[in-house]
Structure 1
Amino acid sequence: MSQPTNERVWLVTGSASGLGAGIAKAALNNGDSVIATDLDLARLEQTYGSYDGQVLVAVLDIRDVAQAESVVEAALKRFGRIDVLVNNAGYGQFGPFEEVEPQAIERQFATNVFGTFNVTRAVLPVMRKQRWGHVINMSSNGGFKGVSGASMYSASKFAIEGFSESLAQEIANFGIKLTLVEPGAFRTDFLDSRMLKIGTRALDDYSEFRTRALEVFEARNHQQVGDPDKLGLAVVKLVEQKEPPLRFVAGADAVQVVEDKLAFVAAELSRWRALSTSTDF
């Protein structure tokens, strides 16, 4: 089969709102077709009701392996192929590590990490058979640099980064590309109370830290500088590239985070180079 040069078929998880909706709508407005998935069917239908035959909406809990496979089957029945997979669904678990109960940590990884694995595992056989495809894994600037007060969220996104860098090498020979997208702060409902999860094991030593963090979240909510629609346009451009990047940093704030960490790592490596190399035989 030859790769299509015009219309593409996208599967976008977590696309009822936020970054997922920004990406899905950009693809639709580009003339492509989209399988838009989320947990809330009513919100999906409200978001995509005007796109008629271009879009297939489907309920998908990415933690459910069978449901992921069923959505892929429905996508193939409707459109015949999947050209782009956007693993966007997820949420942020915040709070100092010691204040986050083990069950909440397990839920964070079950969604952000294992959920991404589930959908990717369901789609890759389709792309391997086609001998083309593009996987977009949504990370975060918190997946490139650890964030104080978000250790579990950062840990889940660091896991996606390592997974993606390795997977990109494993699937390259099948004509499948992979790009990690690392957004900074975008104006979505990510910090809304409906989405935001805070550790519940309140410890006195963290009380001041917790208060400051919650004040920051409240002040930043819906005031972020990033535009989800513009990120959607950027992702469409990435998919159109013959040689897309492995890592795409989205937003001036995220660019600054990456530049600062690269400078820090380079300086630290240089400082300790003699001791590092002394461990060889």
Structure 2
Amino acid sequence: MPATATDAPIWFVTGCSSGFGRQLCDVVLEHGARLVATARDVSSLSHLPDDESRVLVAPLDVTNRASVDAAVAAAQERFGRIDVLVNNAGYGLFGGIEDTPDAEVRRQFDVNVHGLLDVTRAVLPVLRAQKSGYILNLSSVAGQVARASTGFYAASKFAVEALSEALREEVEPLGIKVTLIEPSGFKTDFHGRSLAAPSAEGADYAQTAAAGRDRVRGMAGNQAGDARKAAELMWQVAQLSDPPFRLPMGEMAVDLIRAKLAAVAADVDRCEPSARSADGDGTLVPLT
């Protein structure tokens, strides 16, 4: 039974100007929920309905805590609550570990990690007071698997995964759920406008870091994933009473994550006798 205007859940979504965020705005509204749509440039959200009872458009720069606090306060003032937080804002920095400038690395973490943290910390008091809520954190298949050129982007998403694991244990007793979204390649701006790279890399990395970055760029427009379907899956997972903690999306995500888990299991199996013997006073079993 569809929710009425006064009891429809409130979705607070970051990074709504394009990609998953833009698609999710449409899906949320089509399902009858209410929406707080945020972006650095709110002119990019002019396509949303001009309906104050259902939609709040708020400027939000995840790297500016005052901006974050203002958007959360505006959501509370308009709707009185927040039911679902979607930490979607982010971008990808692709470059070699040695040659990518420090300033670019720090900005990657400021947006993808510290930005997500600041938004989450601003919204958590609302969810705790309600004793309910759901947080969807946009990770990536790169939150599980890192390849040449993806090191800094993957590191930011590995951080999101670790923070989400800890957060889940901290907030589940308070009635708040957490899910990680782990997409692979989808038709969004990620492989174009949302991809950053260092201006130059050493010749020694031409066949590794530089080639890896170029492969990622070459996916633009050719990704297998349908962003609209991804947004629909995010809506569906939020309707489950017992949602999965991880939601991989796309065939590549499923295949790469399964391969990573198998490789980790193989390493653990190989090292297990030596690893276990490192405890206690017994004889250390040599590695083989």
Q: Which TM-score band applies after superposition, normalised by the shorter structure? A: over 0.9
CA distance in 2, matches of 1:237, 1:214: 33
Whole-angstrom distance in 2 between the partners of 1:202 and 1:89: 27
- Name the CA distance, whole Å, in 1 between partners of 2:153 and 2:9: 32
How far did 1:69 drift? 0.8
Separation of aligned partners in 1, 2:173 and 2:102: 39
The question of 1:171 aligning with 2:153 is answered: no
CA contact (8 A) 1:101 1:200 kept: no
1:105: how far off?
0.6
Distance 1:211 1:120 in 2: 34
Cross-structure match for 2:206: 207
The corresponding residue for 2:284 is none
After TM superposition, the score normalised by the length of structure 1 is 0.94
Kindly name which structure, 1 or 2, has the bigger radius of gyration based on alpha carbons. 2
Unaligned runs of 5+ in 2: 281-288
- Any idea what the Cα deviations from partners look like across 1:178-210, whole Å, max 9, x if unmatched? 000101111101011x32111235212113435
Report the structure, 1 or 2, having the larger helix content. Answer: 1
Identical pairs, percent: 39
Matches within 5 A, 1:241-260: 241-260=240-259
**Is the CA contact 1:99–1:200 (under 8 Å) kept in the aligned structure 2?**
no
Alignment RMSD: 1.7
The one-letter code matched in structure 2 to 1:274 is P
Comparing 15-24 and 76-85, the one that deviates more: 15-24
Q: Does 1:109 align with 2:109?
A: yes
CA-CA distance at 1:174 after TM superposition: 1.1
Change beyond 3 A, Cα 1:224–1:52: farther
- Kindly provide the amino acid, as one letter, of the partner of residue 159 in structure 2: A
Query: What residue is the counterpart of 1:23 in the other structure?
Result: 24
Cα distance in 2 for partners of 1:223, 1:70 equals 38
Higher mean C-alpha displacement, 86-95 vs 23-32: 23-32
Q: Structure 1: which 5+ residue stretches go unaligned?
A: none
Partner residue, 2:221: 222
Larger relative contact order, structure 1 or 2 (CA cutoff 8 Å, min sep 6): 1
Q: Spell out the pairing of 1:1-281 with structure 2 (5 A cutoff).
A: 7-46=8-47, 48-49=48-49, 53-192=53-192, 194-281=193-280
Moved over 3 A (4+): 49-53, 208-211
After superposition, the Cα gap between the structure-2 partners of 1:51 and 1:228, relative to the gap in structure 1 and judged at 3 Å, is: farther
Q: Provide the C-alpha distance between the structure 1 equivalents of 2:112 and 2:210, rounded to a whole number of angstroms.
A: 26
